[in-house]
Structures are given as structure tokens and as C-alpha cells.
Amino acid sequence: MKQNVLITGTGREMALGFNFVRRYLEQGDTVFACIRKPSEALERLQQQYPDTLHILTMDIGSTESVNAAAKKAAQLVPCLDLIINNAVTTSPDTNKELEDFDLDTVMPALNVATVGPLRVIKAFLPLMRNSEGTALIVNISSEAGSIGACYRTTYIDYGMAKAALNMATKTLHNKFKDDPKMNIICVHPGWMRTNEGNAKAPFDPYEHAETMRLLFEEKRHDKEGPIFVTYAGEEYPW
């Protein structure tokens, strides 16, 4: 069944979000690709899919921007069946140890990486409740957000943001537990070749996006299984 999909963080051609967009378009789905600033890669892709790719300018760090994007989407489709919260940002000091970290840069990162997905969910929830089936929210998390598996001494802001996003996911899972129209999960996507610095990473973003697309459909109706999972569907420690 064709579905309406909204994906954030889609502007970079080599990254996961953009390749999610490609994979869902190839399935014949209608896709809202959300970006903060213009993307030539998305504009080229829209030429291939003029009827099913909608580019939404949306800053998930701004409630006003997210609400405006939700109103625009509601003018184009009656419902949403899937949201993939993929957008993220980090502090300029993310790879520094605490002694050298400017902690005043943490809150802007958390505003986007943790609060941002909640803004999106809240604004688009009415459209999701209009889905004919079970609407699914996927929060893209990270192994860096796992407290139980934490080994890092840097990436303080990124780890905090993803751990908090995991907690938000669990809280909303509790909210939706008895609601047959809604489900939510968070996923550790693994290490991908998303830029030249990640050339040794094991996964290609385009191929990996399809792996996770299939996983999402497996998890759509699963209310009893693990909530925080890897790209392979395996439970990951909170």
C-alpha cells in the first residue's frame, strides 16, 4: 500500500536522510523531504519525481517553523503514515574533552537533536492520526545514546541528545501502547559512509536505507518487542 512519508534531515546527498527519500520514492510513496536550507540534490531528485516529492523548508529548532510546515503538508495530503526523525546537529566542540568543551554550545544542539523531533511529532500528530492503518514514528538514535553501552569520553552533547531522545521515545511508546493507530521506535542505524571521513564505514547509505525501510515495516505493528533497536532489529541497551 502506498503511503505518505515525512523525513527530516534530507539535504545531503551522501547521507541517510536523502537516501531514505530515494528509497520511499522508488516504492511509489509520497515523500515530504524536510530541510533547513536549500538542497540542490533534492531539487534534482524532485525533477525525477515531480508529483510525489514535496520539499518542505522546516527548521526543527523552531516551533513556529515546524507548525508552518505542518499546515502546508495538511494542504497537500489527508494523512501521514510514517515520520522519520533523522535531522541532528552537534556542538562545534563535540569531539573535545570536558575541560575544553564550551558548555554554552550544548543547549542549541539539544534544542534541535532532542526537542526538535518532539516538535515534529506534536505538529504532525493530527495528520498521523488520520492514517488508515497504524502510523509509525521512527526516531533515528545512535549507539552514542546508550547509557548501558557507553564507552566514549567525548561527544558529550551528542550522547546526551540521543539518550534524551530515547527517553522521549519510551515515554511516547507508553502513551501509544494501547492506541492501535500509533506506534513509535528508536533505531541505532550503524556507521555509514556519509562523507569522505567515513570511508572505512561498513555501510553504504543507499543500501542501508533499504535495510531500515524493511525493518520499519516489520516494527510498525509491534507493540511488545524492543523499542530501541539496531538496524538489524536487535534490541540495543538503553
Please state the domain extents for the chain. Answer: 4-230
Q: How far apart are CA 150 and CA 89, in angstroms?
A: 20
Tell me the DSSP string of the chain: ---EEEEES---TTSHHHHHHHHHHHTT-EEEEEESS--HHHHHHHHH-TTTEEEEE--TT-HHHHHHHHHHHHTT-S--SEEEE------TTTTS-GGG--GGGHHHHHIIIIIHHHHHHHHHHHHHHT-SS-EEEEEE--GGG-STT---SS-HHHHHHHHHHHHHHHHHHHHHTT-TTEEEEEEE---B--SGGGTT-SB-HHHHHHHHHHHHHHHTT-SSS-SEEETTS-B---
Is the confidence at residue 192, as pLDDT, over 80?
yes
Predicted confidence at residue 196, as pLDDT, reads: 63
Task: Say which residues have a Cβ less than 8 Å from residue 122's Cβ, sequence separation at least 6.
Answer: none
pLDDT digits (tens, 9 = 90+) for 35-94: 999 999 999 999 999 999 999 999 999 999 999 999 999 999 999 999 999 999 999 999
Q: Residue 234 and residue 211: Cα distance in Å, rounded?
A: 13
What topology is assigned to 4-230 in CATH? Answer: Rossmann fold (3.40.50)
Give 112-122 pLDDT, tens digit per residue.
Answer: 999 999 999 99
Asked if pLDDT for residue 224 goes beyond 90, the answer is yes
**pLDDT of 221 over the 80 cut:** yes
Q: Is the pLDDT of residue 96 over 90?
A: yes
State the pLDDT confidence band at 199, using cuts at 50, 70 and 90.
confident
Q: Is the pLDDT of residue 148 over 70?
A: yes
Q: Look up the pTM and report it.
A: 0.97
List, for residues 14-35, the tens digit of each pLDDT value. Answer: 999 999 999 999 999 999 999 9
Identify whether the C-beta of residue 125 lies closer than 8 Å to the C-beta of residue 174: no
